Amino acid sequence: MDEYINERLTQLLERNEVSDFREGFLHLHAYEQSEYFDSLSTEEQKKVFELLSPDEVANFWSYLELSQKEEKSMFDEMNANYASEVLQNMSDDDAVDVLNLLSKTQRVSLLTIMDKHKSESLKSLLNYEEDTAGGIMTTEYVSLTPEMSVREALMHVKEKSSSAQTIYALYVVNDQKKLIAVMSLRDLINADMDDHVKNVMNENFVSTDVAEDQEIVAQTIQDYDIIAIPVVDYQHHLLGIITVDDILDVMEEEASEDYSKLAGINDVKETKESVLQTAKKRLPWLILLTFLGMITATILGSFEDTLEQVALLAAFIPIISGMSGNTGTQSLAVSVRSISTGDMEKENKVRHALHESASGFISGLVCSLILFSIIVILYGQPLLATIVGISLTTAMTVGTTIGSLIPLFMNKIGIDPAVASGPFITTINDIVSMLIYFSLATSFMSYLT
């Protein structure tokens, strides 16, 4: 957003020049309005609410980058009638997201004040789990009947367009409200006015079950390259639709969640949290990794005699454990990505694991040859160089294998593979690589001393 416009609006807000502020603010795109609103202090945001009508606030609300805590706090501060009107003017799916953050008492109060039709629509959506198709769908769509003429259908679309989230995809239902076909607005416009919907509709379409996981819905929309997907129950009654803009939000949310888990934390959106809240979220993994780290320390302690006799072995511990962890994390990222996008279903899992292992072996071999040459040149110890090289190749091969297999195993037993976080894999590979390195060094101890 233009810095000059930002400063100008803030000056108008501070001077309480209501008319000029409203003119400047409402001239912006909804996304720019949200950017400006996000940049304000809490007190300034409250003042903006006083200057804008509920429908004007609803217009940019879905663009705001707010944590759930911030969003709830804002609605807690609003007058009940004002909050109810804001929700009234939001799309159903966005309004439900807000209502899910509020207490049961608040929800009931706001729904009671609302228009009856809107209230009933939101109540039905509140019954679904947040991360399912039902939780992200909207009931604001345009449906047609097969008996309609094209002329009647176009008039119906025109009549319903202002309240529908999209009119580019139209849904044909029978008298039991069961979905029987889908058609595009383009097909309807290009059809003969006196023809009937049943003659131009497309009965070859994709839909999703109301209880389907949102991540699978996102993948379906991506695979079929569609702008919206109808949501049906087990009897194929049309319940709502999910549009591509909501799917983009889901994809961002899922990517953020997976990134958090891979990093060994619960949430990457921690910038506005207190120090204690941030520490509380990160501690569970760190405590687990501390105990796993003790295993590595115990292994090193058990090879104390080996280290005392050949102290130079210690110099290569960071390289071997680090490279093993790095390759394992790379393999982990590839596996988790393949599982989350559904590519793993199409790919032979054994072939995938072998591919990653072979990649780790080749990478390890190249790195080992480089390290072998450096050790021979600097220390003049070809046997030590051989031990380090073999250990590095083996550790990197095993590391990639572990990194690829653990997510597959977790997915097999129904656990989110993203919880096999990078720090976790790295620590496991530290344990394995140290066992390989010192076992090999101990076996050749008599030749090293």
Per-residue DSSP letters for 43-64?
HHHHHHHHHS-HHHHHHHHTT-
Number of domains in the chain: 3
Side-chain-side CA neighbours of residue 307 (13 Å): 12
Same domain, 148 and 235: yes
The last residue of one of the domains, among 82, 102, 128, is 128
Q: What is the pLDDT of residue 422?
A: 67
Q: Looking at the structure, tell me whether residues 80 and 223 fall in a common domain.
A: no
| CATH number of domain containing 197 | 3.10.580.10
Sequential DSSP letters for 347-368: S-HHHHHHHHHHHHHHHHHHHH
Contacts of 89 (CB under 8 A, 6+ apart): 54, 55, 58, 59
377 shares a domain with 233: no
Q: Say whether both 281 and 212 belong to one domain.
A: no
Q: Return the residue matching tokens 């795109």.
A: 29
**Token output for 205:** 């379409």
Reported as a single tens digit per residue, the pLDDT across 229-283 is 999 999 999 999 999 888 887 777 766 666 665 555 555 554 556 678 777 767 7
Residues 120 and 59 in one domain: yes
If you ran DSSP here, which 8-state letter would residue 267 be given?
-
Provide the pairing of β-strand 228-232 with 208-209.
parallel
* Chain-centre distance for alpha carbon 117: 32
For residue 316, the tally of other CB atoms under 10 A from its CB is: 20
Q: To which H or E segment does residue 142 belong?
A: none
CA distance 85 to 269: 29
pLDDT of residue 163: 87
Task: Indicate whether 234 and 340 sit together in one domain.
Answer: no
In this predicted structure, what is the pLDDT of residue 341?
67
Which helix (H) or strand (E) element contains residue 230?
A: strand 228-232
Low-confidence ranges of the chain (pLDDT < 70): 1, 254-274, 281, 340-342, 344-347, 416-422, 448-449
pLDDT the model gives residue 9: 92
Compute the distance between CA of residue 234 and CA of residue 208 in angstroms, rounded to an integer: 10
Judge if 395 and 284 occupy the same domain: yes
Q: Looking at the structure, do residues 428 and 284 belong to the same domain, yes or no?
A: yes
Give the CA distances from residue 252 to residues 148, 245, 353, 449, in Å, rounded to whole numbers and listed in that order.
40, 11, 28, 57
pLDDT confidence of residue 266: 55
Q: For residues 87 and 65, what is the distance between their CA atoms, to the nearest angstrom?
A: 17
First-last CA distance in the chain: 68
Query: Rounded to the nearest 5 degrees, what angle is found at the Cα of 46, between the Cα atoms of 44 and 49?
Result: 115
Q: Which residue among 224, 243, 262 closes a domain?
A: 243
In a domain, residue 259? The reply is no
With CA atoms as reference, report the closest residue to 11 among 21, 23, 2. Answer: 21
Does the residue 210 lie in any domain?
yes
Strands 169-173 and 143-144, sheet pairing:
parallel
In a domain, 283, yes or no: yes
Q: Are residues 379 and 350 in the same domain?
A: yes
Establish if 252 belongs to a structural domain. no
Structure tokens at 230: 């109808």
Q: Smallest Cα–Cα separation from 137: which of 219, 234, 247?
A: 247
pTM of the model: 0.63
Residue 75 within a domain = yes
Same domain assignment for residues 294 and 410: yes
CB atoms near residue 228 (< 10 Å): 23
In a domain, 42, yes or no: yes
Whole-angstrom CA distances from 154 to 148, 182, 188, 251, 348 are 10, 15, 7, 33, 48
Q: What is the pLDDT of residue 371?
A: 94
Bridging pattern class, strands 228-232 and 169-173: unpaired
- Contact at 8 Å (CB) between 237 and 179? yes
Is 266 a domain residue?
A: no
Q: Please check whether residue 121 is in contact with residue 133, taking contact to mean a CB–CB distance below 8 angstroms.
A: no
CATH of residue 441's domain is 1.10.357.20
Residue listed under structure tokens 């030590």: 384
Q: Is residue 408 part of a domain?
A: yes
Kindly state whether residues 52 and 163 are assigned to the same domain.
no
pLDDT score at 250: 79
Domain that holds residue 163: 143-243
Q: Is 142 exposed, middle or buried (0-12, 13-18, 19+ CB in 10 A)?
A: buried
Instruction: Choose one of 219, 243, 267: the last residue of a domain.
Output: 243
Phi, psi dihedrals of residue 237, rounded to the nearest 5°: -75, 135
pLDDT for res 293: 85
Is the same domain home to 108 and 152? no
